[in-house]
Amino acid sequence: MAVWTCSGLRWSADGPVLAWRGGRASTLPRGKRVAFRVAEGGVRRCSGARGNACATGAVVPGRSTGARCEECARLERARSVAADTAVDDPRPYRVYLAWFGPGLVKVGITAVERGPARLLEQGAVCFSWLGTGPLMAARRAEQLLRAALGVPDRIPYAAKRAVRSVLPSAAADRAAEIGRLHERAGALAGWPEALRREPFRPVDHVPVFGLASLPAAVGQIRELVPGGTVCGDLVAAAGPDLHLATGDGVVVLDTRLMTGWQLAPAADGGQLTVPVSRYTPMPGEQQELF
């Protein structure tokens, strides 16, 4: 049986795509049956750095979302905009406000040439551009919003997952919070002169992700294990997360946990046999009738 090594989830104009070492790709339309098995006796190998294979083929922990050994993680961040180690990048950048749910707003920057890909990768429910300009001007604007408005530059994935099934139904309501912040940001003193401001034009990803009427998840896959299987119907995808309908309810699979494993197709009628962390019900939430 063919065994493929996963290299992660990518977002294209047509939706999410699972990439495999060697150039293969699997599209992930909603409703698709996701069914795979981890190779028996297999280990998870480091995914390397900056497009290069790990020199030692190091084994990495199953629960790591980075899927890199310590040395490759260092090399990956050695020249990185996110880590502020590539300050001479000549490309133009955009500053954005992204909304993931009530109270969950972040500010960030992304290269203009990437378009909205960064927002799709993070699972932003809606977003709007703030301005465009050189990297350091964009970085200064990001820091200004963090200091003056208290807007963070990171939102934990646990917080994002917790609200996806209870988002406001109207796109205008989903955009309201970043609309107010966009207006406040425009009134701030100290805005970098080199940054061209952009009007508030919210982009909503609920239809792209399939989040409308999304059932609440009962848990998330903690890690993959040798011989374990994952089976479920894809009901939504946001950022790196696949929401899979299983016999026990909707379970979230963070596809970053797949990277570095050797995987093979599983029978359509297979069961979920990997470790799952069950979510704790909210106080007062009724779980059973009797």
At 168-209, the pLDDT tens digits run: 999 999 999 999 999 999 999 999 999 999 999 999 999 999
| Of 80 and 182, the one with more pLDDT | 182
- Only one residue has tokens 């208290």, namely 150
The one-character DSSP state at 191 is: -
Is this prediction's pTM over 0.85?
Answer: yes
Instruction: Determine contact, residues 176/183, Cβ cutoff 8 Å.
Output: no
pLDDT bracket for residue 21 (50, 70, 90): confident
DSSP SS3 for 20 = strand
Instruction: Determine contact, residues 192/139, Cβ cutoff 8 Å.
Output: no
Q: How far is CA 253 from the centre of its chain?
A: 11
Write down the pLDDT at residue 252.
Answer: 98
Q: Which residues contact 189 (CB under 8 A, 6 or more apart)?
A: none
Tokens standing for 213? Answer: 């009427």
Tokens standing for 222? Answer: 């903690």
Nearest C-alpha neighbor of 210 from the set 187, 170, 250, 237: 237
| pLDDT, averaged across the chain | 91
Element (H, E) at 12: strand 4-12
Nearest C-alpha neighbor of 54 from the set 24, 76, 39: 76
Q: Using CA atoms, how far apart are residues 282 and 286, in angstroms rounded to an integer?
A: 9
Instruction: Determine contact, residues 208/12, Cβ cutoff 8 Å.
Output: no
